[in-house]
Amino acid sequence: MRPGPWACPLDTGAALLAGPGTRRYLNHVAAQVAVIEGDGIGREVIPAAITVIRQLGLGLEFQPVNVGAERYLQTGEALPEDDFAQLEAADAILLGAIGDPRITDSRYSWQTLGRIRRELDLYANVRPARLLCGRLSPLRDPGPRAADIIVVRENTEGLYSRMGGRFKPGTPEEMAIQEHVSTFRGVTRILGYAFSTARSSVVLADKWQAMPHAGALWQRCWRDARDAHPDVPARHMSIDACALHMIAEPWQFDVIVTENCFGDILSDIAGGLIGGVGMAPSASINAATGRALFEPVHGSAPDIAGTGTANPAAAILSGALMLRHLGFAAEAAAVEAATAAALEAGECTADAGGSLSTREAAVAIAWRLG
């Protein structure tokens, strides 16, 4: 099977597919990377990731964008138009995390991360989960059949469309409606992206029995996608069975494609199989426009923010995904290999079995890049 853009992250000789969204920067034309450290540990892991990327000497231009809880609490602005224009113009966005316990209004995340995904139409949320160090697996003796899964999650529709409402809120008669939204265009393009990413196979995970209307649309589009890619083995699983088999037999999965909410859940399961979400990178991509955002899966983790103990691996690996998107495939593979080597040597943070600080763990990886 043809390798996808996230394939074989530790094989520097792998032929990586430069998909339609991949950008290439040659002849010393510097890529412009908009950087949002955001909230919580995002303010620690993103500088760590940039430290590693700078070690490669690629000349990328990192442009800070002040989006986060502190500014929101001071000004009431979540993402001003001037800052959003800077994100639109960037070649890539590197983001730490959005979320602060002082802000309970969901509009904050909707107007920041939600707006970026929605208005830049970053429809494909790609979350690769590959076990880089055997001792991090929660499974007994994973051996050569360890997890190497890519969850491709529809990123702009589903239950996260925020359609619905509350009637008589705060009373004994309260009623809440949360709508699931799936469109033919949205489902078709996420399935197409999943097949283009596949290295060996694609699994569609859904719950069509309990969601007959959305399920019928997904099944219709799934049949069309399979017919359009007859060389890629494909099968359908119920979401609950898929979750079970991911834990029991993760080696059977290559690409799993699903809707927004289910993808959020499955990607956390996949993260658990590789040592936790502190090891899990992600990318949100529009393959047609080339716009993309890269962020660790772990969120802002306010309970450890400011302690210097956050694992920078997910942010660093997200940076590697960004490098591959920008056309630096060999450099991306080198970052991934250096991360794996540092983990194997125990030069990492406590959650991965080491004793280093966030900054020290990043330096250990950067040192391996020469």
The more confident residue out of 282 and 24 is 282
Q: Is beta strand 148-154 parallel, antiparallel or unpaired with respect to 164-167?
A: unpaired
Residues 350 and 368 grouped into a single domain: yes
CATH of the domain at 92: 3.40.718.10
Q: How confident is the model over 67-111, as pLDDT tens digits?
A: 999 999 999 999 999 999 999 999 999 999 999 999 998 889 999
What integer pLDDT is reported at residue 14 of this predicted model? Answer: 32
Mean of per-residue pLDDT scores for the chain: 91
CB atoms within 10 A of CB 245: 15
Residue range of the domain that includes 267? 138-163+180-273
What integer pLDDT is reported at residue 141 of this predicted model? Answer: 72
Residues 194 and 79 grouped into a single domain: no
**List 25, 207, 224, 351, catalytic entry:** 207
Residues 37 and 83 grouped into a single domain: yes
How far apart CA 200 and CA 256 sit, in angstroms, is 11
**Is 233 inside any structural domain?**
yes
**Is 110 inside any structural domain?**
yes
Closest CA to 38 of 11, 6, 71, 61: 71
Residues 31 and 117 grouped into a single domain: yes
Share of the chain above pLDDT 70, in %: 91
What integer pLDDT is reported at residue 7 of this predicted model? Answer: 34
**Is 57 inside any structural domain?**
yes
Q: Is beta strand 124-130 parallel, antiparallel or unpaired with respect to 148-154?
A: antiparallel
Is 264 known to be catalytic? yes
What integer pLDDT is reported at residue 3 of this predicted model? Answer: 32
Is 91 known to be catalytic? no
Which of 240, 273, 306 is a domain's end point? 273
Residues 306 and 357 grouped into a single domain: yes
**Is 8 inside any structural domain?**
no
Residue environment code for 291-314, b if the CB has 16+ CB neighbours within 10 A, otherwise e:
bbbbbbbbbbbbebbeeebbbbbb
What integer pLDDT is reported at residue 83 of this predicted model? Answer: 96
What integer pLDDT is reported at residue 15 of this predicted model? Answer: 28
Closest CA to 40 of 349, 301, 351: 301
Q: Which residue has the tokens 């800077």?
A: 86
Is 108 known to be catalytic? no
Closest CA to 33 of 16, 9, 58: 58
Per-residue pLDDT at 199 exceeds 80: yes
- Give Cβ neighbours of residue 75 (< 8 Å, ≥ 6 apart): none
**Is 175 inside any structural domain?**
no
Q: How confident is the model over 20-65, as pLDDT tens digits?
A: 455 555 445 689 999 999 999 999 999 999 999 999 999 999 999 9
Q: How confident is the model over 119-134, as pLDDT tens digits?
A: 999 999 999 999 999 9
DSSP 258: E
Q: Which residue has the tokens 């442009």?
A: 63
Which of 225, 251, 273 is a domain's end point? 273
Q: How many folded domains does the chain comprise?
A: 2
Residues 305 and 227 grouped into a single domain: no
Q: Which residue has the tokens 């409606």?
A: 177
Model-level pTM?
0.90
**Is 191 inside any structural domain?**
yes
- What is the mean predicted confidence (pLDDT) over 279-285? 97
What integer pLDDT is reported at residue 10 of this predicted model? Answer: 35
Per-residue pLDDT at 338 exceeds 50: yes
Residues 159 and 212 grouped into a single domain: yes
Residues 95 and 67 grouped into a single domain: yes
- Give Cβ neighbours of residue 252 (< 8 Å, ≥ 6 apart): 245
Is 25 known to be catalytic? no
Scanning the chain, the segments in alpha helix (DSSP H) are: 42-54, 69-75, 81-89, 107-111, 113-119, 184-197, 212-228, 239-248, 260-273, 313-325, 329-344, 358-367
Tokens of 272: 């658990």
Residues 29 and 88 grouped into a single domain: yes
Give the CA distances from residue 152 to residues 4, 57, 69, 256, 259, in Å, rounded to whole numbers and listed in that order. Answer: 12, 31, 29, 6, 9
Burial of 207 (0-12, 13-18, 19+ CB in 10 A): middle
How far apart CA 193 and CA 182 sit, in angstroms, is 16
Per-residue pLDDT at 144 exceeds 90: no
Tokens of 284: 């949100």
Give the confidence band of 143 by pLDDT, cuts at 50, 70, 90. Answer: low
The answer to whether the beta carbons of residues 194 and 255 sit under 8 Å apart is: yes
**List 25, 121, 224, 268, catalytic entry:** 268
What integer pLDDT is reported at residue 12 of this predicted model? Answer: 29
DSSP string covering 48-90, please?
Answer: HHHHHHHTT----EEEE---SHHHHHHHS-SS-HHHHHHHHHS
**Is 254 inside any structural domain?**
yes
Residues 326 and 366 grouped into a single domain: yes
**Is 345 inside any structural domain?**
yes
Which of 212, 245, 273 is a domain's end point? 273
**List 72, 108, 160, 193, catalytic entry:** 160
What integer pLDDT is reported at residue 339 of this predicted model? Answer: 98
The more confident residue out of 24 and 217 is 217
What integer pLDDT is reported at residue 28 of this predicted model? Answer: 52
